[in-house]
């Protein structure tokens, strides 16, 4: 499995998790310029931008640590552009991170960090 397929499998796990928790998926892989937001979802009256990080092992640390300051700035900028592009002016928003750390092929830990940054 290449890196893109591996990342997509993590996003699929994250979507299933969110739906099970009552979220409604609005959009996946929203691209603007060179950047992307993995999942845009809604829970209640809140719009949630979700960054998904998936790691096959913890050789380079847990997936949670892979959201660098530059990545955070990029996600915030793309989220703002999504709001402008869709004329969303007065809606509660937040940015979450879902980190998926595989233990083996069929077992993983999922960490959902609400209001991550």
Q: For 79-104, what is each residue's pLDDT tens digit?
A: 999 999 999 999 999 999 999 999 88
According to DSSP, the residues that pair with 46 across neighbouring strands are 43, 92
pLDDT tens per residue, range 27-82:
999 999 989 999 999 999 999 999 999 999 888 899 999 999 999 999 999 999 99
Non-local (6+) Cβ contacts of 30 within 8 A are 36, 37, 40, 78, 82
Q: Enter the pTM of the model.
A: 0.92
User: Pick from 27, 39, 44, 45: which is nearest to 86 by CA?
Assistant: 27
Domain range for 27 is: 3-113
Question: Looking at residue 3, what is its pLDDT?
Answer: 63
Domain count, the chain: 1
Question: Looking at residue 58, what is its pLDDT?
Answer: 80
Rg (the chain; Cα; Å): 14
- CATH assignment of the domain containing 80: 3.40.1350.10
């Amino acid at each position: 499995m290449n890196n893109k397929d591996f990342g997509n499998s993590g996003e699929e796990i994250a979507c299933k998790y969110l739906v099970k928790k009552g979220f409604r998926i609005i959009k996946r892989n929203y691209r603007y310029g060179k950047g992307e937001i993995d999942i845009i979802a809604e829970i209640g009256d809140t719009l949630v931008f979700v960054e998904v990080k998936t790691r096959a092992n913890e050789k380079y640390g847990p997936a949670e640590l892979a959201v660098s300051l530059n990545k955070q700035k990029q996600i915030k900028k793309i989220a703002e552009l999504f709001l402008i592009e869709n004329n969303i002016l007065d809606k509660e928003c937040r940015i979450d991170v879902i980190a998926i750390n595989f233990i083996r092929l069929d077992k993983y830990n999922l960490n959902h960090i609400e209001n991550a940054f």
